[in-house]
Amino acid sequence: MSHRDAEELAAEIAYMQDDPSFRPKKDPLNKPDSPEASIERLEFKNKKLHQYIDKLIDENHRLRKNNKELSKQITEQFRNKGAL
């Protein structure tokens, strides 16, 4: 690269820096948040996680109840057959 090419490149870079259309667009998802926005986002995530945990707890209770009922049925079947 010659000295003249370097000067032309420097001039193009200077032009691009002055022209807003050449500036890279900022990603709105990657910007630093204000503390209030961070708090709102974390509260939302916390709420959703609690809802998911409650759903899992309900499912766990339902499965345990079904398991107890099935074990009772199996025990009764064996008792009726005289195996136990």
**pLDDT tens for each residue of 2-52:** 777 887 777 777 776 766 665 556 656 666 667 888 888 889 999 999 999
Q: pTM for this one?
A: 0.50
Q: Could you give the angle at the alpha carbon of 69 between the alpha carbons of 65 and 71, nearest 5°?
A: 115
State how far the Cα of 47 lies from the Cα of 76, in Å rounded to an integer.
44
Range of the structural domain that residue 54 is part of? 44-84
pLDDT beyond 70 at 83:
no
Provide the number of structural domains found in the chain: 1
Confirm whether 26 is domain-assigned: no
Confirm whether 4 is domain-assigned: no
Confirm whether 31 is domain-assigned: no
Confirm whether 36 is domain-assigned: no
Confirm whether 56 is domain-assigned: yes
Confirm whether 73 is domain-assigned: yes
